[in-house]
Structures are given as C-alpha cells and as structure tokens.
Amino acid sequence: MLIGETLRALRESKNFSQGEIEKRTGLLRCYTSRVENGHTVPSVETLEKYAHALEIPLYRLFYEDEKPPRDAAPPIALDDSTAAIEELGPLANALRRLTDKDRRLLLVVANQMTKKRERRGRGKRDKKK
C-alpha cells in the first residue's frame, strides 16, 4: 500500500475529513489531497504531523498491523520531546537532506519491503491451514 492510500484509509477509519486534518496539522486540505492521491511525497516531519493528528504511532503509516513489528523500536511518547530528538533527530536530519526524488525512491523501497513481508506472511498462514 502506498503512503497516500494508507493516510486516506486511516483518516477515513477515524471519520476525519481532509478539513479536520487541516485543522489538526496546519497543513492545507489541498496538500493532504495531493498526498492521498500520490501527487506529493511528504517529508518525515509531515508524516509525524499526520500521525499525531490521526492519534496513531508513526509506524502505523508504514505497517498495517495494530501491533508494531517484533523488531521495531519501542514507541516514543509524543510528549517526551527530549527522547524523540535523541532517537529520531539523526534520522530526521538525514532524511531532511534528501531530494524529493530520493525521498520518493526511499518510500518505494519501503513499500516494496512491506509487500514482500506481507507475501511471506501469507505463505506461512496458508501452510498452517
């Protein structure tokens, strides 16, 4: 699933309009529309705003299960900005330097990895039946 599709599905599951997301994030409704339709690739900082507005942990934008993957780092409390800066600061700095083209490539790779993991998971479930 692409990030825009994921954002739309999560927004709709919470019964939020794009206007509500605009109020919660400060991002224009038309920007959210462009992201959801795959015309714009959001930065990590923007994805953090969406996650906060949707009241979900950031990993949910990349991973569909309710529980985090076993190898995921423990979630960082949104109100603990010191811990967030220490843990996510270096990653955010590296991602900030990416060009839009490189950011799109990174998201494509992440989506492909997710699809591959999903296919592996389906194969294991089919064997158990």
What's the CATH code of the domain at 51?
Answer: 1.10.260.40
124 is in which domain, residue-wise?
3-64+77-128
> In terms of C-beta distances under 8 Å and separation of at least 24 residues, what long-range contacts does 97-104 make, across chains too?
100/41, 103/41, 103/43, 104/41
Cβ-Cβ contacts under 8 Å for 97 (sequence gap 6 or more): none
Average model confidence (pLDDT) across the chain: 78
Is residue 70 one of the residues assigned to a domain? no
71 in any annotated domain: no
Mean pLDDT of 102-129: 70
Residue 35, in any domain of the structure: yes
The 10s digit of each residue's pLDDT in 1-60 is 588 888 999 999 999 999 999 999 999 999 999 999 989 888 888 999 999 999 988 878
How confident is the model at residue 62, as a pLDDT?
Answer: 79
**Nearest-5° Cα angle at 7, 18 to 88:** 115
Asked whether residue 34 is assigned to any structural domain, the reply reads yes
Check if the beta carbon of residue 43 is closer than 8 Å to that of residue 57: no
In the prediction, which pLDDT does 19 show? 94
pLDDT value, residue 18: 94
Who has greater pLDDT, 25 or 105? 25
Helices 18-25 and 44-54 pack at an angle, to 10 degrees, of 110
Domain-located, residue 11: yes
Q: Are 63 and 114 in contact (CB under 8 A)?
A: yes
- Residue 69 belongs to a domain: no
Overall domain count for the chain: 1
